[in-house]
Amino acid sequence: MTGGARTSDLGDLGAILRARLQQRRAAGLYRSLRIRGGPTAPLQSLDGRAVVNFCSNDYLGLATHPRVVEAFRATAESYGVGAGAAHLVSGHTEVHAALELRLAQWLGRERALVFSTGYMANLGAVSGLVGPGDTILQDRLNHASLLDAGRLSGARMFRYRDPGHLERLLQRTAGASRLVVTDGVFSMDGHVAALPRLAELCAREAAWLMVDDAHGLGVLGPGGRGSTAQYGLDQEAVPILVGTFGKALGGFGAFVAGSAALIEVLLQQARTYLYTTALPPAVAAAVLAALDLLEQEPERRERLQGLIDRFRSGAAALGLPLSASETPIQPLLLGTPQHAVSAAEALLEAGFWVAAIRPPTVPPGTARLRITLSAAHTPEQVDGLLEALGRWHRAAGIPPVAGEARSQPAAFGERDTILPHHDVVQDPDVHQR
Ligand SMILES: Cc1ncc(COP(=O)(O)O)c(C=O)c1O
């Protein structure tokens, strides 16, 4: 190829990319980075301005806890920063092994396996367990990493709307190996999955249940052991449990927990475990310190619950479109992307940093503000946010809502969800993340 031909190809590419970006802008879907100063904490500097952060997943305020930071620092001093290799080469240290043992004991599972991120844990677990010829059934609100995991696996993938719909799909797919996958707490909606019912259906239909408890772990259940523990669901009921360290545990990374056989299979076959550098040991040590704090300071979860109750009763009094969520994820459903973005801008103007979440992260027509609460917030900060929300809501002329908003568009029909894996991508009614 000549130099001239390359330039003209690049010119075309540039024009195509600019047109794509323009389309996103016109649809109100353009995303921009914001530069934060300092650690994740309620009081932040954003683009040089002081704001209160209501869009971090550091639900217990552990990311900046002195003991967590000290564990990280001390381990980095003794082990260095990088793990140096993948786990199965030479990257697996005593610190990783101690963390895996601790997680397994804490969660009542035989073994746990540490992955470098939650995204990778999900890709590795799903595609390490099922493949072409198998069937995956996913809640339609599942996190993007679970949907991508399903696509990567090559298995047939169906999306279910609720447990009744799942039951019918399980009956129709009898005979295949079935993996049922759900978020424990839905990341953009905040409600907890109907886990006891899912576990019962999976037991009856001989399907495997996988729960990604990224947002439940540390927050829900006895000792913060998550949504499965909240319902007393053990390894038999939920054989594949995923948790992440980057949210309530204030760290980074993730794990899969389950039977010794499950973990051994993933260790042999999960490509996102095999072919990537191990988590830095200092991060594993920081997570161990966070687990100690979870045990020793239950008042963090109590404080968080108090703030959730305070926010919900204040928002209900203002007639804001609250969702049916009892967790620190408190979305306000606003509908169009433009509405969500203008609300987030008005709040920022008032000194509150809240994320506007738009399609394709959520279904069309359900753009929202995703407000997240942390034990590190003060009641006064929550009251300040409510005041600013109330001012914005009145100024925007939106009529008050009684009751809770729903993120399931009524148009989501059963027929639309019964889709083989390759069709899911094209279906306009199923949101893609
Ligand atoms: C439900 C859920 N699973 C998995 C992930 C991915 O975890 P990680 O950030 O560790 O990749 C996230 C968010 O980040 C999530 O919300």
Q: Is 366's C-beta closer than 6 angstroms to any atom of ligand 1?
A: no
C-alpha 88/C-alpha 91 separation (Å) is 7
Lowest-confidence segment of 71-85, 305-319, 341-355, 392-406 by average pLDDT: 392-406
Domain residues for the domain of 331 are 40-62+298-395
pLDDT of residue 174: 92
Spacing of C-alpha 307 from chain mean position:
21
Domain count, the chain: 2
DSSP letters spanning 183-236: ESB-TTT-PBP-HHHHHHHHHHHT-EEEEE-TTTTTTSSGGG--HHHHTT--TT
Domain co-membership, 275 together with 227: yes
Residue 210 inside a domain? The answer is: yes
What's the pLDDT score for residue 413? 39
In a mutational test of the pocket of ligand 1, which residue from 40, 59, 116, 119 has the highest number of ligand atoms less than 8 Å from its CB? 119
**What is the pLDDT, as a whole number, of residue 378?**
98
Instruction: List b or e across 382-401, with b for residues whose CB sees 16 or more CB atoms inside 10 angstroms.
Output: bebbbebbbebbeeeebeeb
Q: Are residues 159 and 305 in the same domain?
A: no
Q: Which atom of ligand 1 is nearest to the CA of 145?
A: 4
CATH number for the domain spanning 182: value is 3.40.640.10
User: In terms of domains, do 303 and 288 share one?
Assistant: no
Identify the pLDDT of residue 6.
53
pLDDT of residue 177: 93
Of 120, 122, 138, 145, which is best to mutate to test ligand 1, by the most ligand atoms within 8 angstroms of its C-beta? 145
Tell me if 115 is assigned to some domain: yes
Residue 252 lies in a domain: yes
In this prediction the pTM is 0.92
Ligand 1 center from residue 256 Cα (angstroms):
13
Rounded CA separation 85/279 (Å) = 9
Quick count: other Cβ atoms within 10 Å of Cβ 417? 21
Instruction: Select which of 187, 325, 374, 407 is catalytic.
Output: 187
Predicted pLDDT at 383: 98
The domain that contains 48 carries what CATH number? 3.90.1150.10
Minimum-distance ligand 1 atom for the alpha carbon of 185: 1
Cβ–ligand 1 distance for 119 under 6 Å, the answer yes
Assigned domain for 21 exists: no
223 and 344 housed in the same domain? no
pLDDT at 425: 34
pLDDT over threshold 80, residue 427:
no
Do 238 and 205 lie in one domain? The reply is yes
Same domain, 261 and 150: yes
Q: Is 227 a catalytic residue?
A: no
165 with 279, same domain: the answer is yes
pLDDT in tens, 159-185: 999 999 999 999 999 988 999 999 999
Q: pLDDT > 90: what percent of the chain?
A: 82
Asked if residue 319 and residue 229 are part of one domain, the reply reads no
Tell me, using a 6 A CB cutoff, whether residue 372 lines ligand 1: no
Q: Which ligand 1 atom sits closest to the C-alpha of 186?
A: 1
State which ligand 1 atom lies nearest to the alpha carbon of 183: 1
Kindly report, residue by residue over 10-27, the tens digit of the pLDDT.
Answer: 679 999 999 999 999 998
Average pLDDT rounded to a whole number, residues 286-308: 98
Give pLDDT, residue 403.
67
Whether the CB of 143 sits within 6 Å of ligand 1? yes
Residues 344 and 278 in one domain: no
Residue 111: Cβ within 10 Å count: 21
pLDDT at 287: 98
Q: Which of 215, 339, 377, 431 is catalytic?
A: 215
In a domain, residue 431? The reply is: no
Point out the least confidently predicted range of 26-40, 47-61, 109-123: 26-40
Going by alpha carbons, the residue nearest to atom 9 of ligand 1 is: 118
Question: Is 421 a residue of the active site?
Answer: no
Mean pLDDT of 189-194: 97
Do 187 and 230 belong to one domain?
A: yes
Residues 288, 155 within the same domain: yes
- The verdict on residue 32 lying in a domain is no
Q: Which two tokens stand for residue 212?
A: 């990604």
The answer, yes or no, to whether any atom of ligand 1 lies below 6 A from the CB of 134, is: no
Q: Determine the 3-state secondary structure of 45 from DSSP.
A: strand
Residues 6 or more apart whose CB falls under 8 angstroms from that of 338 comprise 28
Q: What mean pLDDT value characterizes the chain?
A: 91
The pLDDT tens digits of the residues spanning 139-154 come to 999 999 999 999 999 9
Say if 6 falls within a structural domain. no
* Whole-number pLDDT of residue 179: 98
Does residue 16 fall inside a structural domain? Answer: no
Interval 227-257: pLDDT, tens: 999 999 999 999 999 999 999 999 999 999 9
Q: Are 290 and 356 in contact (CB under 8 A)?
A: no
**Same domain, residue pair 131 and 205:** yes
pLDDT in tens, 27-47: 888 888 988 988 999 999 998
235 pocket-lining for ligand 1 (C-beta < 6 Å): no
Which atom of ligand 1 lies at the shortest distance from residue 254's CA? 10
Mean pLDDT to the nearest integer, 383-406: 84
pLDDT of residue 10: 63
Query: Position of tokens 């007393």?
Result: 232
**At 399, is the pLDDT very low, low, confident or very high (cuts 50, 70, 90)?**
confident
